[in-house]
Structure 1
Amino acid sequence: MAARIDLTLDCADAQLLAAFWRTALGYVDEPPPAPFATRAEWLAQFDLPEGDSEDDGAWLCDPDGIGPRLSILRVPEPKTVKNRLHIDVRVPGHGGPDERWARIRAESERLVRAGGSVLTEFDGHHVTMADPEGNEFCVAAAAP
């Protein structure tokens, strides 16, 4: 059996990035682990440093249970270099190259409206983007 993975994204504003990635991926807030009714209850079991709060983290999941969980955690240090690992947002659908490229462009435009920015377009293939805190990701067509 293959291992499952979670992705963790460090950030300055967990709620800002959670809103962006919910929109980008169609993810939802992950419920707190059993037996806790809320994230605040779950976090209360940890000895969090003074000044840390529930808003310093967000946990997102694929509502269909297929994609990896995404943990978004506030850290004190800023992003300083290009990501060594990034997310590829795959746009579904079929058709020829022009149709796939039109879907990629439409998705990148949607994500710009959600707070992302276009870094580079590789015409006909993919768009490299950044989320609101500058974390790079790509928008490309799903595998046929």
Structure 2
Amino acid sequence: MTSVRQVQVTFDCAEPERVGRFWCAVLGYVAPRPPGRNGAFACVDPTGVGPRLYFQRVPEGKVVKNRVHLDVRAGTGLVGAQRLAVLEAECARLVELGASCVRVLVADGYNESCIVMRDVEGNEFCLD
């Protein structure tokens, strides 16, 4: 039987500390130590539940849509107008942190509402 492995989510970016501090503020994560060599930065869930996030400097910029993205679960268990109001409030908070709102996808009878956003370096993520 295969044992469960821990995962780390790694971000390629131009400014690891800036992007890492943004995600710490979004998720309530903490930086366990100062930035590493070459400007690398890591942060962790202080409860130990979520995966470690690691931010590494790369020379090339982002050019296409992410193939993998984070879903920030701000509206879990909520539906309709109540869910959309919570998502929009969280969107406003994240915009103040430097994120940008790409589009609001309103519930369509099959899928619940979610908001597509970009972090401080343009990486897509969803509020759902």
TM-score of the alignment, normalized to the shorter chain, above 0.5: yes
SS at match of 1:121: strand
Q: Does the 8 Å CA contact 2:12/2:57 hold for their aligned counterparts?
A: yes
AA aligned opposite 2:60:
E
- Residue 100 of structure 2: which of 117, 120, 125 is its match? 117
Q: Name 2:26's counterpart in structure 1.
A: 24
Q: 2:82 is matched with which residue: 99, 123, 142?
A: 99
Give distance in 1, aligned partners of 2:12 and 2:75.
28
Deviations 1:26-51 (A, max 9, x none): 100034xxxxxx666xx5xxxxxxxx
**Structure 2 residue 126 is the aligned partner of structure 1 residue 138:** yes
Bigger mean CA offset, 1-10 vs 80-89: 1-10
Q: Over the residues paired in the alignment, what is the CA RMSD in angstroms? A: 1.7
The aligned residue for residue 8 of structure 1 is 10
95 and 126 in structure 1: CA distance in 2 versus 1, 3 angstrom threshold: closer
SS at match of 1:15: helix
Shift of 1:3: 1.9
1:29-76 Cα deviation digits (max 9, x unpaired) = 034xxxxxx666xx5xxxxxxxx3xxx111000000000000011111
> Normalising to structure 1: TM-score of the pair?
0.77
Q: Unpaired runs of 5+ in structure 1? A: 32-37, 44-51
Structure 2 regions of 5+ residues with no counterpart? Answer: 108-112
What is the number of equivalent residue pairs in this alignment?
A: 121
Question: TM-score under structure 2 normalisation?
Answer: 0.86
- Taking every aligned residue pair, what percent have the same amino acid on both sides? 39
1:92 is displaced (CA, Å) by: 5.2
C-alpha separation in 2, matches of 1:39 and 1:103 = 33
Residue by residue over 1:108-132, the C-alpha shift from the partner in whole angstroms, topping out at 9 and shown as x without a partner, is: 1110000000011101410000001
